[in-house]
Amino acid sequence: MGIIEAILLGIIQGATEFLPISSSGHLLLIPSLFNLDEPNLNAIAMAHQGTLLAVIVYFRLDLWQIISSVYDGIKTRQPLATTHARLGWYIAAGSIPAIIAGLLFEDILEKVLTNPSIAAVLLFCNAAILVLGERALKGGKTLSTMALPDAMVIGLAQTLALLPGISRSGVTMSTGLGRSFDRSTAARFSFLLGVPVIAGAGLLAALELARAPDIGDQLGYLAATFVTAFIVGYLCIYFLLRWVRRHSLYIFAVYSALAGSIYLLIEWVR
């Protein structure tokens, strides 16, 4: 892998991790479409670290308030006394379904995760999810009025993102819209809910990276991947949170459907 491929990987991971168009799907489709080598696993690990740092840095104040509020709630024996304390417990509860599903279906997912055609088909499903979310939009709820059932339903929906082609941010935002949150609130909770999942993926990737025998020879392009994923990821969080204030998710649904169609058409011609 050269420096250009490393930067390209960082751009793909940084953008598609947070925009509702599926990072896992793009990491399968783009190399297959352009006959590129599969991304280096060490570089993928660094890309995950970059996106993890991006979401932590962007939401650093929210995360600090959540962590400190949960701690204060435990100390005073009033764990649900404040909005941020409740939000911390809701994020923890909402993360459980994806963790369980990942452990239970690990073998099946490993087969699905390597098939670009499946990812292309699932991009159509991703488009449908985004459209259904917009159709269900009612608005009204905020994070201060969130309840445990809201977090659990959104958390259950997050398990679908284990499939390549289904966007984690897309499915959780759409489900949030279906639970009567406005776009901005649904997007913010989607990103916060994603922190444990992204951190878990980043930890597993870091463990793999630590076992790599030739890590010293790869530092240059690994650093390029990390920095690119961080910068692009941060900018995409900033962009999406502002986009959803005034615009719908339909444009991402159209993109998902087009991307899936183009890949399947090219594969058919081949």
Give the tens place of pLDDT for each residue, 63-93.
999 999 999 999 999 999 999 999 999 999 9
Check pLDDT > 90 for residue 209.
no
Q: Are 178 and 136 in contact (CB under 8 A)?
A: yes
pLDDT band (50, 70, 90) for residue 138: confident
Nearest alpha carbon to residue 187 among 245, 241, 147: 241
Task: Please state, for a pLDDT cut of 70, what percent of the chain lies above it.
Answer: 93
Q: Which residues contact 79 (CB under 8 A, 6 or more apart)?
A: 70, 73, 85, 89
Neighbouring CB atoms inside 10 A of 24's CB total: 23
Domain that holds residue 208: 3-269
Per-residue pLDDT at 112: 65
**Residue 244: what pLDDT?**
94
Q: What is the Cα–Cα distance from 29 to 25, expressed in whole angstroms? A: 6
Can you give the pLDDT at residue 213?
A: 67
Place of tokens 């499915």: 171
Structure tokens at 223: 């650093």
**Averaged confidence pLDDT in the chain:** 89
Number of domains in the chain: 1
Res 133: pLDDT: 95
pTM of the model: 0.90
3-class state of residue 141 by DSSP: strand
pLDDT at 160: 93
Residue labelled with tokens 């977090």: 151
DSSP state of 138: -
